[in-house]
Amino acid sequence: MNKEGEAKKLFQAVSVRKYYPLTKSNALCDVSLAIEKGEFVGIKGASGCGKSTLLYVLAGLLAPTSGEVYFQGDLLTQIKDKVGYRRNNIGFVFQDFYLYPGFTVLENVLFPGLYRGFVSKAMRKKAEALLAELHMGHKTHTPAQVLSAGERQRACIARALLNDPQCILADEPTGNLDSNNGQVILEMLKKINSEHQTTIVLVTHEERVSRYAHRLIHLADGRVEYV
């Protein structure tokens, strides 16, 4: 790939196919797309159309059966330190939050930095600042299990932002939220996208995401239907 020409592209997928031998099904078929830095992209489609698979392929958690995925011009399969790639470039927001009960909100937010066994003061300050930015400053020392669903998802967004990722991959982040909280989360992601220039790739069923995303990619049966 011409790196200079592709400088603006954060992700590029070329003819990506993902086959699951267990279910003998193609989750992704000949998917080609590009996502530019600073974009807010929504990936829409019916359940089982391959949205989440595409997200995990972009994250390097799943290897494509065939085809190529590039991150900033580098072939993802050739990046040896996939964990480092994820840690430094990707923030995850899940539908089910996956906060650790028994730990405070702050501790949960600090988890991505805890792999060394300790967190620096600077990282702790940053986590506190992120929580404040997401209107969670008053919940810093609250145990995660007592938060409301909306608060949990805000804590997850703070956790995703801790390592200053270039991109947030959000898998149905509003799926477990009521309409109001869902809107708050989408607004926050939009704000993060515009203020931090963080690329957002959001997998969703929701129609209203079109109000926030720069563009939508529609998937059907593992194929890009239209962009």
* C-alpha distances out from residue 85 to 5, 12, 61, 143, 197, Å: 22, 16, 11, 30, 19
Instruction: Work out the angle at residue 14's Cα, subtended by the Cα atoms of residues 85 and 6, and round it to the nearest 5 degrees.
Output: 65
Task: Give, as ranges, the residues between 12 and 71 that touch other proteins (CB under 8 A).
Answer: 22, 52, 56, 59, 61-62
The distance of closest approach from Cβ of residue 147 to other proteins in the complex, given in angstroms and rounded to an integer, is 17
Candidates 69, 159, 209, 222; binder of other proteins (CB under 8 A) is 159
* C-alpha distances out from residue 88 to 122, 144, 164, Å: 17, 25, 7
Nearer to other proteins, 84 or 137 (CB): 84
The distance of closest approach from Cβ of residue 141 to other proteins in the complex, given in angstroms and rounded to an integer, is 21
Task: Give, as ranges, the residues between 89 and 128 that touch other proteins (CB under 8 A).
Answer: 90, 92, 94, 98, 100, 111-112, 114-117
Q: Please give the structure tokens belonging to residue 131.
A: 């929580």
Candidates 142, 163, 176, 183; binder of other proteins (CB under 8 A) is 163
Nearer to other proteins, 96 or 178 (CB): 96
- How far is the C-alpha of 59 from the C-alpha of 183, rounded, in Å? 25
Q: Which DSSP symbol is given to 83?
A: H
* Binding-residue total with other proteins (CB under 8 A): 24
147 binds other proteins (CB under 8 A): no
Nearer to other proteins, 24 or 116 (CB): 116
Annotate 53-88 with b (16+ C-beta within 10 A) or e (fewer). Answer: bbbbbbbbebebeebbbbbbeeebeeeeeeeebbbe
Name the site residues for other proteins (rule: CB under 8 A). 22, 52, 56, 59, 61-62, 83-84, 86-88, 90, 92, 94, 98, 100, 111-112, 114-117, 159, 163
